[in-house]
Amino acid sequence: MTNDGFKSIKENDLEAGPYRWVVFSAFIVSNTAGFLIANTIGILLPSISEEISLSPGEQGILSSAPFWANLTLMIVISWWTSRYPPKILVSITIVMGAIFLFMQGWAPTFLALFVGRLLFGATMIAREPARSLLIKQWIPQRETNMAGGISNLFFGVIVSSGFLLTPKILEYFDGDWRLTMYSFAVFFLLIGLMWQILGKERKNVLAGRSDFDDGVDGGFSLVTKAFSYKEVWIAGMGFTGAMMAFFSFNSFFPTMALEYYNISLSSSGFIVAMYVLPGGAAGVVVAYYLKGVRGRAPILAVDGIVISVTYCAMTFTDSYVWLVGLAILNGIGWGFFPILYMVPFHLKNVRPREIAIAVAVVMSLAHLGSAVGPMITGYMQEYFESLQLSVRIIAFCPITLVIAAFLLGQGVRKKSG
């Protein structure tokens, strides 16, 4: 093949056309719908606790249940499911997720509800490798940060919408959290139908083999390779503290606002939405200006400080105006998300399935924070007998972003030297 011919194939391989964003957006909507449901449990907790009589510790465990599945199974499941084409992987996990949502709506006990949320979390992690494989199929390397920014934007829009609409759905069903959960299941099935229509796959003609093959070094050597990158561990550590605070506030802020500030669930849902939504837009801005790895350290450091300070400040005021303002500022601080999530995509000589597993390592550490944050907050509430103090303490966990900024900055300076 001539150089001109190879060049035309290379350009054709990298430039998939505008439809690449349709496919990627369809996946992000499908995937983020799961996070919407996992995150909005805080709105339903008062109703669930009233019916099933949950202690603060049990509320924390229930909130973190999907993320315990992510923490304990994500690497193994990602290694296993990353060998399957994204189209069928997303389809199957959405159907299974809907089944486990129906199970939660039926659950007569705390244990049954916990198991339902745990299994729902397992479907979320089984779906995650499709993101990395779709990015490698459709998105050029120079646009990977933008793919992360768009992921963050959809997360902000969809999850914040969930916090705005869930109180309305709960009110529509006269406070019946079970019917609300059933409506989530139907919504999930509709999302799956959308994916069936829009989701497509694209062969990578330059790879010379399927993205789903193990290659020469197959099997668990892929996992070993993913674990060998220190940048992966640094990114995951940065996520851990941020997610501890994020999911603790999602789970307990509505209850705290109701008990301490006399703010309704609808109003507190709006406040939470205001620190989720701006993060999506901020992530796109960061991704647009940050094409590679240089410059990410200062952003991480500033965002870590902003998120910690604003979360803490939200526990000191009952002014609705101030709470909304602090929430918006907090949300802007979440613009760092695509920086850490896309760390595995900027590793040298990394293959598609290795990226999927490296992302799984990063997100497993992120879900460590998601899992232990609400649980620790719940148990601190029992120990201190103060939900407000417990949330105030957990607010400072995003300082791990400052540590990650320093370590990643050191790595970039060493490579430059």
* Strand (E) or helix (H) holding 178: helix 177-198
Structure tokens at 116: 């339902």
Question: Domain ranges in the chain?
Answer: 16-416
Of 6-15, 25-34, 221-230, 362-371, which gets the smallest average pLDDT? 6-15
Cβ neighbours, 10 Å, residue 57: 18
**pLDDT tens digit string along 33-50?**
988 888 888 889 889 988
Mean pLDDT of 241-267: 90
Structure tokens at 409: 């900055």
pLDDT at 17 over 80: no
What do you get for the CA distance between the two ends of the chain, in Å?
39
54: left (phi over 0), alpha (psi -120 to 50) or beta: beta
Structure tokens at 158: 């969809």
pTM: 0.70
Of 38-52, 62-76, 252-266, which gets the smallest average pLDDT? 62-76
Label each residue of 45-90 as H, E or C: HHHHHHHHCCCHHHHHHHHHHHHHHHHHHHHHHHHHHCCCCHHHHH
| Mean pLDDT across the chain | 82
Residue 112's identity, in one-letter code, is A
Which residues, at least 6 apart from 102, have a Cβ–Cβ distance to it below 8 Å?
181, 182, 185
pLDDT at 414 over 70: no
Band of pLDDT at residue 5, cut at 50, 70 and 90:
very low
> Residue 237: helix, strand or coil by DSSP?
helix
Is residue 158 within 8 Å of 226, Cβ to Cβ?
Answer: no
Is residue 66 within 8 Å of 120, Cβ to Cβ?
Answer: yes
**pLDDT tens digit string along 306-329?**
999 999 999 999 999 999 999 999
Percent of the chain's residues with pLDDT above 70 = 82
Structure tokens at 379: 């148990």
Is residue 376 within 8 Å of 321, Cβ to Cβ?
Answer: no
State the pLDDT at residue 11. 42
For residue 376, how many C-alpha atoms fall within 13 Å in the half-sphere facing its CB? 21
The second-level CATH assignment, the architecture, of 16-416 is Up-down Bundle (1.20)
Structure tokens at 226: 């993913």
**pLDDT tens digit string along 147-180?**
777 887 888 888 888 888 998 999 999 989 999 9
Q: 80 versus 233: which is more confidently predicted?
A: 233
Percent of the chain's residues with pLDDT above 90 = 35
Angle between helices 41-52 and 144-172 (to 10 degrees): 40
